[in-house]
Structure 1
Amino acid sequence: MEKSNRLINTKIEHSIATVLNINIKIMKRLLIFLAVIAGIGLTAAKLLDNKEKTAQKVYIPDTDPKVGVKVAVAEIRRLSQEASFLGSFTPNRKVEIRPQAGGEIVRLNIQEGQFVKAGQLIAKLDDEQLRYQIEAAQVTLEGYQNDLKRYEVLVKGDAVPAVNLERTQLSIRSTEAQIKQLKKQVDNTSIIAPFSGIVTAKMVEKGSVVSIGTPMAEITDISLLKLVVNIPEKSVNEFRNGKTISIKTDVYPDANFSGKVTMVSAEGDDAHNYPVEITVQNSQKNPLKAGMYGSIANAAEVKGEALAVPRQAITGSAKQPQVYVVENGKANLRDVGIGATTNEFYEITKGLKAGDKVVTSGQINLQNGTSVIAQ
């Protein structure tokens, strides 16, 4: 009986061991399966993540791209064109001093750069010999006058012929004329300034001997200056004597000068340019000098009020001008008509209305109907 019980217990233990071994194998297989499933899940998640990142890097073209452009508004404006012309200032007057008498310079009262007034003595020539001649002529004149008194008495008494009286009268007139001539020569030995100005050149020194017409000095008057500008044929009729012109200079860029047209040449050069002189009052605050550059800007009305757009808006050809009009976020190409033109604008005679927005920059990237972003 005891032996039978042991045998039964042994079988039971064997069965339990067998069951346990089976369960362990099942558990191992289950764990392996779960590990495989987890690995597959991680791999799938990684692949999905990589796909999303790759998709972000891949460029997908926009089927309706928007092009950035600059626009301007077509509006009614007064069309005028401003033309700029460059010229140089010349002195109001400039003269070379030349004596009307000859002799040694005994006094010289000027230096280069000195300001002289009208009538001021510039130089004095030796006049001693001329004064001696005047003195001698006056003595002769006095003798003739005494003779005249005597002849007048004698002629009344028929003591001498009347012809002697007439000759004495003629001699007196001749001597008086000679004295006047000598005095004029003495006056000519004093060289004076004909007008106020600056001594811009001195050609002689004290002690020099000069003859009639020898250059002695040069005086330049810049109290007034003349801006000489060459105006092309198409613009010359816009200038009239007395017209007030605004003038700018490089040396005083912030200063404005005002001048008046004082001469419009009646004859142009080979290039059909006409010299125009504009007289300007010199300024003590901003003094101008002859030879400086000056420029004028002359505004001429091309047309009255008209619908206009900037020149940059026009595309196409001269025969078929076009513009891109921005409507509802798209650039639509339109044919237009062009009228008067200025440096900045075109008159639009047809194809647009006031308030239309036209593209002024970026047309190279546009086609009819392209979506745009207006700036």
Structure 2
Amino acid sequence: MKRLTIIFALLATLGLTAWKLSSNKENVEKKVYQPDVNQKVGVTTAVAELRNLSQENEFLGSFTPNREIEIKPLAGGEVIQLPINEGQGVRAGQLIAKLDDEQIRFQIEALQVTLEGYQNDLKRYEVLVKGDAVPAVNLERTQLSIRGTQAQIKQLKKQLENTVITTPFSGIVTSKMIEKGSVVSMGAPIAKITDISALKLLVNIPEKSINQFRVGQSISIETQVYPNVYFNGKVNMVGVEGDAAHNYPVEIIVQNGNNNPLKAGMYGSIVNENKLKSQTLSVPRQAIVGSTKKAQVYIIENGKAILKDVTIGATTNEYYEITKGIKSGDQVIVSGQINLQNGTPVVAQ
């Protein structure tokens, strides 16, 4: 009897639980939103049409001097003239520094006296040799002494020239390492000359974009210093070896001017337009649903959203080329797709 009571109690509990679950299910279903299949969904559309696809890429670089050199003397000695200051403009061939050359001039003078003596001896030996008064070997030795002395004088004159230090090209004195009265050694830098009559814009270009550049190509350049002012540049070098990140150096020459002067170290940016396709069927990027490998678009047919499989070709920041799946003139949906299913009634807003 006790066992039957327990069984009846369990059955009653199970029945009550089943009734409660069924009642909860009905309440939940009443609360869940049931869309009206005949209600039209508002969407935004665009027309699939033929376009010229091009991609604008912006790259940032920095300006470097056209030429820059450290002036190093080919002789050593005391600096007796230094007519330059930092920031000063200099012309090609202008005096930068003058070294003391007194000792070299004394040596040249002494050798010239020696040379004069050899030349007098030569004249006497030429007469004596003709009369067989002296051996011909004396004449030959004197001739060799003259040639040797002349060579020493040339060498000293070259050293004398090296005491005058001039600029190899026009530019600005950007650094002065010594002062008048300093004693310098051969090869020690004394000043730095920077030429910014033209500047080099050095830009690192990613691998996927490097083929957009060629030597001699004209490119428009913008700077942060002069907004809305464009400088004309010409590609001077396209790198043939990339770095670890697969970036390639591109060098662009820009002529400097007085109206908007540029300085080394400033930033410059270029915008290069890459023409991808001409007159190709394309849609806005927002029209694509799914992935690019399995792309789909909704088009409107007879007031309904119809899902189409498409094949994507070239891409830009704004458009996808469509090579298969829809035709020119189709009205594609670009927003509101989250509320759509294949066949949903729609209205273009």
TM-score normalized with structure 1 length: 0.78
Q: Give the greater-gyration-radius structure (CA).
A: 1
Query: What's the counterpart of residue 64 of structure 2?
Result: 90
Supply the distance in 1 between the matched residues of 2:211 and 2:168 (Cα, whole angstroms): 36
Specify the alignment match of 2:44 in structure 1: 70
Matched, 1:137 2:111: yes
Equivalent in the alignment of 1:233: 207
| Mapped contact 2:59–2:205 kept (Cα < 8 A) | yes
Judged with a 3 Å threshold, the aligned counterparts in structure 2 of structure 1 residues 68 and 123 are, in CA distance, closer, same or farther, namely: farther
**Aligned 1:56-205 pairs, distance under 5 A:** 67-205=41-179
Residue-by-residue CA offset, 1:276-305 (whole Å, 9 max, x unaligned) = 211121122111111111222222232232
1:310 aligns with 2:287: no
1:255 matched to which residue of 2?
229
Distance in 1, matches of 2:153 and 2:103, equals 13
Pairwise CA distance, 1:369: 4.4
| Whole-Å separation in 2 of the counterparts to 1:216 and 1:362 | 71
Query: Which residue does 2:318 correspond to in 1?
Result: 344
Contact kept? 2:37, 2:344, Cα under 8 Å: no
Identity of aligned residues (%): 74
- Deviation, structure 1 residue 318: 3.1
Higher helix share: 1
**Deviation at residue 79 of structure 1 after TM alignment:** 1.8
In structure 1, distance between residues paired with 2:43 and 2:170: 63
Give the AA of the match of 1:362. Answer: G
Taking the aligned partners of 1:251 and 1:333, their CA distance within structure 2 comes to 50
- Aligned partner (choices 256, 271, 274) of residue 245 of structure 2: 271
Distance 2:190 2:38 in 1: 85
Q: How many residues align?
A: 315
AA at the equivalent of 2:270 = I
TM-score by length of 2: 0.84
Residue 325 in structure 1 maps to residue 299 in structure 2: yes
Q: How does 1:7-26 map to 2 (within 5 A)?
A: none
The offset of 1:320, in angstroms, is 3.0
What is the CA deviation profile of residues 300-350 of structure 1, one whole-angstrom value per residue up to 9, with x for unaligned ones?
232232110111111123343222224565543333222222222111123
Partner of 1:286: 260
Gaps of 5+ in 2: 1-34
Q: In 2 relative to 1, CA 362–250 (structure 1 residues): closer, same or farther, beyond 3 Å?
A: farther
- Runs of 4+ displaced beyond 6 Å: none
Structure 1 letter corresponding to 2:286: Q
